[in-house]
Amino acid sequence: MDNSSTRDRIRALVRDVLDKAGATEESGGGVQGTSTSTPSRFVDIAPKGSTSTDPNVTRDESSKMVITEDDVRGLETGAVLRIAEGARLTPLAADIVNEKKIEILRRVPRHGSKASRMIAVGSDHGGFKMKEELKGLLAEAGHRVHDFGTNSEDAVDYPDFAHAVARAVADGTVDVGIVIDGAGVGSAITANKVPGVRAAACYSVSVARNSREHNDANVLTLGSKTITSREMREIVEAWLGTDISEDRHRKRVAKIEAIERQYQR
């Protein structure tokens, strides 16, 4: 059997598996220990109803729910590909995306995505109890969770766990991340050292909404000693329920990313 026939068979098998996986997730989730998402870089952007003529978008494949290597082949390094909110990439397509550093823009509703997300969580010993409560909240909302620890109240160093969550967000293994330590500041500083991460330490609902709508924050950090359990729930719900929606905000976030690239050379 030649390589072309083998590739076609693998492609058909992958499509079948992804279709079945998508149907399973839509019927209900729960907490899972590991992510089954294809590693790729996702950025929630324009609300539904936006035109596909955005000059920043190289190719628009938002009409498809499965993105194959044929859909990304031919794109140049650094190209921008728009896809539907719930679309998935086949492994071969993800390889091309990662190799060429293609940025994927995923369209979401103006008032926030209602779809299940893969969320990385982490904490130090001071945030352990609140993290465990957070996991229950996320499960109730239908999200999937990848818990990076810690797993007890034994003393540990917060940078280790903030770094693990930030890396998962940056490489696209998860959609967003939430980290809890005593104040939330140290974890935010750590997470922001990882290229591609925009971490925000939030102490109120209004700040949480602002960090998403204005700054497109993809990591939320919380201080277990600065907020109550009720406030944590309100902040997390507001943060997950808000998305960047206006061009003026996206332009400013693009400037943040441009500054970041200056120091990656």
Q: How many residues does the chain have?
A: 265
Q: At what angle do helices 229-240 and 128-140 cross, to 10 degrees?
A: 50
Pairing of strands 103-106, 66-67: unpaired
Alpha carbon distance 107, 31 (integer Å): 25
Give, in degrees to the nearest 5, the angle at Cα 215 between 137 and 187. 55
DSSP output for 123-160: E-GGGHHHHHHHHHHHHHTT-EEEE----SSS---HHH
Query: Would you call 207 exposed, middle or buried from its count of C-beta atoms within 10 A (0-12, 13-18, 19+)?
Result: middle
Q: Which of 125, 143, 146, 214 does the annotation list as catalytic?
A: 214
C-beta neighbour count of 12 within 10 angstroms: 10
Pairing of strands 144-147, 176-181: unpaired
Alpha carbon distance 60, 141 (integer Å): 30
User: 214 an active-site residue?
Assistant: yes
For the CA atoms of the chain, what is the radius of gyration?
Answer: 19
Alpha carbon distance 225, 234 (integer Å): 16
C-beta neighbour count of 95 within 10 angstroms: 16
Q: Which helix (H) or strand (E) holds 229?
A: helix 229-240
Q: Which residues are catalytic?
A: 214
